[in-house]
A and B are shown apart, each in its own frame.
Chain A
Amino acid sequence: MPIRVSIPPLFASLALLGWLMSSTAPPFLSSASAADTGADAEVSLEAEGQAYYKEKVFPILEANCFKCHGGEDKLKGGFRVTSREGLLRGGELGSGYNPDAPDESLLLEMVSYKDDEHQMPPKEKLAPEHLAVLTEWFSRGAPYDPALEIAGDPAEHKRSHISDEDRKYWAYQTVNETPVPKAPDATWARNPVDAFISAKLADSGLSPSPRATRQVLVRRAYYDLIGLPPTPEEVAKFVNDPRPEEEAWCDLIEDLLERPQYGEKWARHWLDLVRYAETNGFERDNPKPEIWRYRDYIINAFNSDKPYDRFVIEQLAGDELDQPTFDSLVATGFHRLMQWDDEPADRKQHVYDVLADNLQVTAETFLGSTLGCARCHDHKADPFTQEDYYSFMAFFHGVTHYQTEGTLIAWATEAEKQKFETERKQKLADLNQQKDKLETEILSWLRNHDFLKEGETEVLTFVANALDANPTDWFYATERPSPDWMSVGFVNKSWLKAEGGFGKEGTPGARVRTPWKTADIWMRAQFGLMELPETLALELHHDEDVEVYLNGVEVYRATGFVTQYQTIDLGPEALAALQTGKNILAIHCHQTKGGQYVDAALRTGRPEARSIKALIKREGGPRLANRINKDFGREILRDYSQLETEIETLRHQRPGIQINGVTEAGQNPEPMFIHIRGSAHAEGDPVAPAFPAVLSGTEHSKPAVIPAAYQGKNTSGRRRILAEWIASPENPLTARVMMNRLWQHHFGRGIVPSTSDFGKLGEAPTHPELLNWLAAEFIRQGWSIKEMHRLLMTSATYQMSSAPRQDALAVDPTNNLFWRYSMRRLTAEEIRDSMLALSGDLNLRQGGEPVFPPLPAEVLQTASRPDQAWGHSSPEDAARRSIYVHVKRSMRVPFLADFDQADTDVPCAVRFATTVPTQSLCMLNSEFVNTQAATFARRIQAEADPTPEAQVRYALTLTLNREPRAEEVAECVSLVNRLESELGMKPEDALERLALLTMNLNEFVYLD
């Protein structure tokens, strides 16, 4: 039961004003209504009112309300009760006082605990006598004693509009041509990036650091572009390349950009932003089938250098394009990555929690904007109003609500779909025939051997439900039929026919086979009887009120809803209603709100006799099964259950390739309202899709005009217009934000360090002109990301050494000015992948279903169902790159989590890089690391000369990607010797320890 509150802010005051201007005498005078009638009686009435407030009302308000509503520094809900002006103006829910009907004032509804949404004070309901005082006070017109009023400040008012002043902020300026400064040292600068950087360095009296060595550069380029270390041959190729440095460097970059591993490295940055995960989270943490295609889409997009504007449009609205492609549909998986509660405490609110989550990710990812903060109130720092927020949300309002598995779209032509259905039907018929034959044989054996007593055999199913392999077809209507709809003789000619399990996905315990979304459904199933059964059981799931008729006789009725199928033994009355021949089971279900579902089965016998399998289990289990098989001379029971499985599998098969993406359900989404204080149950003014005012040159959100051509048969076109608005060169944020991210991942931090927040609460850009120039260049180069890698990496700035310099450290210890390259620790994925690369086990197969590297039993044990917590992959698959590891919200791979892999529930623009002892424990002791070390040791043994020195040298060369120094080799050889001589270890074991040592080196996990 939603409350719609849409009182204009000054409604109450205006009403009051209207009343003041009328000729009737006012019932009271208050401080706020500064009119003076001069009549004595009224003066005394005023004094009386003030006294009443002072003596009766004030103590109650002071004790119970002032703390949060204006008496102290808090002002919850924007509502001030300490002054008459505050009471009348009201808070986010509207005016506290209704002059037309004081009894129905919001404040009185609140204090009288009208319903769940109206309960103040929250701690405890006021005493009845206090309630009486407040009611009386309101009936007197809610007078205040001016001496006791505490006035508010004007800042309490909502932001009325967006001004030009708001628009002056740097991030909202259109990207424009920026003059490239003159580089102080023209011989150093290689491209405009360097001019910007070195000019600013010169301003601080600093010079850029020297170029890094080729050994350092090759390792840097490999990790930055493909996230993997170079082999010794690859290092040598670049280091010894006789061509001019620049030429060799460009070739190296081209080589790496062309490798498929490039996309795997850069997709991970993107997946952090969109909090990519392959399950829903919460209690059951169900999988999101096929969602891995989205991951592959991102990888392929980077590899194919998909223009960024196209990349944006496909993810937001790939289904609304003129010609959706396989890729563009997969891209819309963007909207399905969020956490989702299949059993929320408040369904309606959760629908909007999901939209809010997606809005936040959209705004932060593409626009570097925390628009998401304006859900409950206007943004507190940036010029975004609640109107902006909900108008933006309206763009997404047509997207069908998330269901347990998301929305699976079949990628197949109509002809393919039809062919598939025809074939399936035929196959099903064949299989069912075979199954029926076996069933008859087995049942007759059971009967002959006295395992089936009279009356419980045949576990006859008259009407099958959605959980059965072959659900019964129902005839159904959603418009009220004539009153005899439940009788056997009723003709359901105009009714539709579909399989049972009617309702909405996500309803607890539901197995929806046919969507039902209206308030009522009437349904009829027909079944024939040759002879009458002796027992009858109804299996029923209903959400909500239900009435069940058997041949027109009411046999069951219930209100409310259940969350699973329930078995109801029907009594003699129901049995008496049965007849040989045609019978009708008829059901009416009525729905008010939340989930909805109805389905039923009608069978004979007790539930445990429902299947042959259950019967055999009850009557003797494997021994009985053996006996049956023996008598038949074959594995008849196995064949039977195989048939069952095949039938079930076939039923679930869908034509073509499945895509987990989004669709809309029509051209006109439901109306969208502002949600007061973020509550879906407190709808304010209606809003239409509109762009934030500060980015539109308007005072209020600018309505989007959706071309008719964008509307499909079943889609609103709203997301497409939004996507095009975002992916436009005119949008001041889009190019800047993405360019800043590219910079971030090459230089260790963004030019705007808070890369997803370009607002006032974020960090200011250290080089705004450079960012502007880069953004313009990005657009000029057709939004080509690879072109930008080339630009950034061929700059002298990128190729600087990371070594410390005392002079520069003194001026700029945090490298704000980019006087050197910033060292970075490798990411969780880079460390894991590098270890696999060292051991030689790394499997570079690309794409496809996620893999499950083995997890320690201790970790599995943290799940509520340890045996179902994780999957299994072959050792080859388990050794694939980390980006292909299954992402399960409630269970993260400890190695990756330890090294600061992004959390899966919230977007991550900048990863942490912590250093804690649990990481060292993992690096020294864990099964994964030690397995890699052992394999690495075997590789060293096989590939290096069999002397300790040669082996050490080889191990260090591989881990550090450079020639080791003599003292390093000496230290390692000495360790190997001591392990052998002092601890008596065998050489191969000592070598394993050496391998472990090299993988633990700081230099291995840090990049210069």
Chain B
Amino acid sequence: MNHPDKPKNSFCGNVRRREFLTTVGGGFTHLALAGMLAGDGFFNKANAAGYTNPLAPKTPLIPAKAKNVIFLFMYGGPSHIDTFDYKPHMYGMDGKTIDVKTFGRGGKKNQGRIVEPKWKFKQYGQSGKWVSDLFPHVGSCVDDIAFMHSMTADSPIHGSAMLMMNCGSIISGKPSLGSWLNYGLGSVNQNLPGYVVMLDKTGGPISGAKNWTSGFMPASYQGTVFRSQGEPILNLKHVNGMAPQEQRMLIDSLNHLNHGHLEERFDNTNLEARISSYELAYKMQTTAPEAIDLDSEPEETKQLYGIDQPKTEDFGRKCLLARRLVERGVRFIQVYSGGAHNDDNWDAHGDLEKNHNHHAGGTDKPIAGLIKDLKRRGMLDETLIVWGGEFGRQPTAEYEKGTGRDHNAYGFTMWMAGGGVKGGVSVGQTDELGSTAVEDRFHVKHLHATILSLMGLDPNDLSFFYGGLDHKLVGVEGADPIHQVIA
């Protein structure tokens, strides 16, 4: 297997995900790298080597602390200094012009007018964590949360920053985090997609499907858009309606004919796989609607998520749905708060107070409800919740007047809860203004490394060979998990 010309650290040197897959799947080892992909069952040419379901469940390669991830994506970029990154010295400085380096949509600036945090902060929990009045309910959960206040990203512009947070690179074409998890771990429930995305009711984020793409990986690993009401998945229901027994008849006949076809092509496991895919599709049609049916949930639970109030109904429903999908084995669920453009998401360039009151108001209770519900059901230990946007916001005003803040990728806050994460801790710091991370600076790739690692995948080993390179979510140089937040 080892080849003197193979680069050190390529997966040929060690047991990596793909090698593992090959051993399990086809067991042929005579070909070099790309040949192994064939063993994964992706390509036509290897039909004789055996079909491998790309989404078959796989054992984690390192001890896993979490089994599922719920990523609450605050699209647009919430202001960290108005939410979780307490900057007491800024109060009273409103309007003061200071020297500070910023880089946002409006370009690079060296000076700005301070907009002091527009909400008061209070201490919560045993840990005494300071949280702003935007998030009183989340405040009550701080002892389960690890805050990372020193996040940095490569771009302060939505388009590329979204790609960075979702796919690990500011250049398009790379697979998203959920794709990597499904590639590495497979899906334990074949009747539901392993990677689900729930969008905001106002629309998708910019770049749409690029945010849940599988990039150069097979489409089997891309995110499936899931709706919280109506038909959850595209094509789940026949376009003009088809009764189950009618469909059953149809599939039975299809199976019969397909088995006849298979007889003379007995070695082609792809044909068999296609036969079973109809059975899976058939089951999915009952499993998926059942998953979104909240009727069986007690009123108390619905209230916990804020489903009983108009303001929090939508996001609350999605959070509760996320829990139900976790219960059904969905590996990675991403829920968007905010969609479309401008103030439909957290992109508070204009009236900061109006924008953040709206978005925090719609999500605070549902998020806290999710944490509490998972906890009381004993699910929080194995479910990792990630909260944050593609970047944070600047301490200074964007325009001459008003409270709008421009983007800030020099320093911002993200937090995680459950799934092997320490509660009640805060790591990293921004400067006194929150303009830039100064202590324990972490990059988005460290966040990704942490998530992969908690899920039982070594971020520096999990790779996919494409275009002459073993691609990794965390980049060729690799990245370590944020150990300070791992329990």
Complex contact A925–B237 (CB within 8 A): yes
Q: Which of B233, B239, B277 contacts A927 (CB 8 A)?
A: B239
Specify which chain B residues have a CB less than 8 angstroms from the CB of A920 in the assembled complex.
274, 277-278, 280-281
Is there contact, CB below 8 Å, between A917 and B284?
yes
* A979 partner residues in chain B, CB cutoff 8 A: 246, 249
- Binary interface encoding of chain A residues 111-148 relative to chain B, with 1 for a CB under 8 A from any of its CBs, else 0: 00000000000111100000000000000000000000
Partner of A759, one of B208, B442, B468: B468
Interchain nearest-CB distance for B158 vs A (Å): 6
A925 to B216 CA separation, bound complex (whole angstroms) = 27
Q: Given A353, A891, A914, A1002, which contacts B262 in the complex, CB threshold below 8 Å?
A: A1002
| Nearest A residue to B12, CB-CB | A761
Q: Cβ of A873 < 8 Å from any Cβ of B?
A: no
Q: How far is the CA of A912 from the CA of B43 in the complex (A)?
A: 5
In contact, B44 and A890 (Cβ under 8 angstroms): no
For residue A993, CB closer than 8 A to chain B, the reply is: yes
Contact of A913 among B267, B270, B339 (CB under 8 A): B270
Contact in complex: A914, B215 (CB < 8 Å): no
Assess whether A560 is in contact with B107, with CB atoms less than 8 Å apart: yes
Q: Is A753 an interface residue (CB 8 A)?
A: yes
Q: A884-917: which residues lie under 8 A (CB-CB) from chain B? A: 889-892, 894, 897-898, 900, 903, 905-908, 910, 912-917
**Interface members, chain B 450-472 (any A CB < 8 Å):** 465-469
Are A763 and B238 neighbours in the complex by a CB distance under 8 Å? Answer: no
The answer to whether A1002 and B203 touch across the interface, beta carbons within 8 angstroms, is no
Q: Which of B31, B45, B160, B268 has the most CB of A within 10 A?
A: B45
In this complex, which of B10, B107, B264 has the most chain A Cβ atoms within 10 angstroms of its Cβ?
B107
Query: Does B118 reach chain A (CB closer than 8 Å)?
Result: no
Q: Which of A802, A856, A968, A997 interacts with B234 by CB under 8 Å?
A: A856
Cβ contact of A906, chosen from B47, B235, B467, cutoff 8 A: B467
Bound form: Cα–Cα A714–B28 in Å: 55
Contact B172 A753 (CB under 8 A): no
Contact call B6/A993, Cβ cutoff below 8 A: no
A749 touches B45 (CB 8 A): yes
Q: Is A803 an interface residue (CB 8 A)?
A: yes
Closest-by-CB residue of A relative to B154 is A345
B443 at the interface (CB under 8 A from A): yes
> Which candidate, B84-92, B252-260, B371-379, B414-422, is the interface stretch facing chain A?
B252-260
- Quick one: which of A284, A968, A1001, A1008 has the most chain B CB within 10 A? A1001
Task: Mark interface residues in B189-214 (1 if CB within 8 Å of A CB, else 0).
Answer: 01001000001000111111110011
Query: In the complex, are the beta carbons of A914 and B238 less than 8 A apart?
Result: no
Closest to A822 in B: B45
Q: Does chain A have a CB within 8 A of B188? A: no
Given contacts A345-B156, A975-B253, whether A924 and B238 have CB atoms under 8 Å apart is yes
- What are the residues of chain B within 8 A of A804 when measuring CB–CB? 48, 265-268
Whether A866 contacts B160 by the Cβ 8 Å rule is: no
Instruction: Give the distance in Å from the alpha carbon of A908 to the alpha carbon of B268 in the complex.
Output: 25
Task: Report chain B residues within 8 Å CB of A759.
Answer: 468
* Most chain B beta-carbon neighbours within 10 Å: one of A283, A560, A858, A864: A864
**Given known contacts A757-B34, A864-B208, A906 and B43 CB-to-CB distance under 8 angstroms:** no
Of B49-57, B64-72, B302-310, the one contacting chain A is B49-57
Where chain A touches its partner, the secondary structure class is loop
Do A858 and B340 contact each other (CB < 8 Å), given the known contacts A757-B34, A864-B208?
Answer: no
> Given A343-B159, A865-B341, do A916 and B199 touch, yes or no (CB 8 Å)?
no
| B160 A917 Cβ-Cβ under 8 A | no
**Max chain A Cβ within 10 angstroms of own Cβ: one of B38, B48, B284, B409:** B48
Complex Cα spacing A81 to B444, Å: 26
Contact pick for B47, options A74, A763, A822, CB 8 Å: A822
* With A898-B219, A1002-B262 as contacts: A924 and B340 at CB distance below 8 Å: no
Name which of B199, B216, B274 has the most chain A CB atoms within 10 A of its CB. B274
A122/B443 contact (C-beta < 8 A), A281-B207, A910-B43, A997-B254 known:
yes
Beyond A124-B441, A763-B34, A971-B257, whether A753 also contacts B45 by CB under 8 A is yes
Q: Report if A304 contacts B (CB, 8 A).
A: no
- Minimal beta-carbon separation of B191 from chain A (angstroms): 8
**Identity of the chain B residue whose Cβ is nearest the Cβ of A169 in the assembled complex:** B5
- A748 contacts the other chain (CB 8 A): yes
- CB pair A903–B216 under 8 Å, yes or no, is yes
| Contact status A916-B54, CB under 8 Å | yes
Cα A993 to Cα B243 in complex, Å, equals 12
* Count of inter-chain pairs, beta carbons less than 8 A: 332
Chain A interface size, under 10 / 10 to 19 / 20 to 34 / 35 or more = 35 or more
Chain B residues closer than 8 Å to A740, beta-carbon distance = none
The one of A124, A364, A763, A764 in contact with B440, judged by C-beta atoms closer than 8 angstroms, is A124
Would you give the shortest CB distance from A153 to chain B, in whole angstroms? 10
Does A708 sit within 8 A of B, measured CB to CB? no
**Is A918's CB within 8 Å of the partner chain B?**
yes
Interface membership of chain A positions 744-759, coded 1 if the CB is closer than 8 angstroms to chain B and 0 otherwise: 0000110001101101
For residue A766, which residue of chain B has the nearest CB?
B31
Q: Which residues of the other chain, B, contact A892 by a CB distance below 8 angstroms?
A: 209
Q: Tell me, yes or no, whether B105 is within 8 Å of chain A by CB.
A: yes
The 0/1 profile, CB within 8 Å of A marked 1, for residues 223-244 of chain B is 0110100010111111110110
Known contacts A345-B170, A803-B264; A972 and B253 CB within 8 A of each other: yes
B44/A822 in contact, CB under 8 A? yes
A339 lies within 8 A of chain B by Cβ = yes
Q: Does B155 contact A (CB under 8 A)?
A: yes
Q: Is the CB of B171 within 8 A of A914?
A: no
Task: Knowing A560-B109, A906-B466, A922-B235, say if A889 contacts B210 (CB, 8 Å).
Answer: yes
Q: Does B220 contact A (CB under 8 A)?
A: yes
A239 close to B (CB within 8 Å): no
Contact pick for B246, options A762, A907, A922, A983, CB 8 Å: A983
Contact of A76 among B160, B247, B477 (CB under 8 A): B477
Residues of A955-1002 at the interface with B, using a CB-CB cut-off of 8 Å, are 967-968, 971-972, 974-975, 978-979, 982-983, 985, 993, 996-997, 1000-1002
- Sample 20 A-B pairs with CB under 8 A, ordered by A number: A282-B160, A283-B159, A343-B105, A345-B170, A372-B467, A380-B10, A753-B38, A753-B45, A761-B468, A803-B265, A861-B203, A864-B339, A905-B172, A913-B270, A914-B220, A918-B281, A919-B277, A924-B278, A930-B240, A997-B250
**Besides A803-B264, A920-B281, 12 new A-B residue pairs in contact (Cβ under 8 A), listed by A number:** A123-B442, A339-B172, A381-B6, A508-B105, A748-B44, A761-B465, A764-B32, A804-B265, A907-B467, A920-B278, A968-B257, A1002-B258
**Interface residues, chain B, CB within 8 Å of chain A?**
3, 5-7, 10, 28, 31-35, 38, 41-49, 51, 53-55, 105-109, 154-161, 170-173, 190, 193, 199, 203-210, 213-216, 218-220, 222, 224-225, 227, 231, 233-240, 242-243, 245-247, 249-250, 253-254, 256-258, 260-262, 264-268, 270-271, 273-275, 277-278, 280-281, 284-285, 339-341, 409, 438-443, 465-469, 477-478
Give the 3 A-B residue pairs with the shortest CB-CB distance, closest first.
Answer: A370-B468, A905-B173, A283-B159
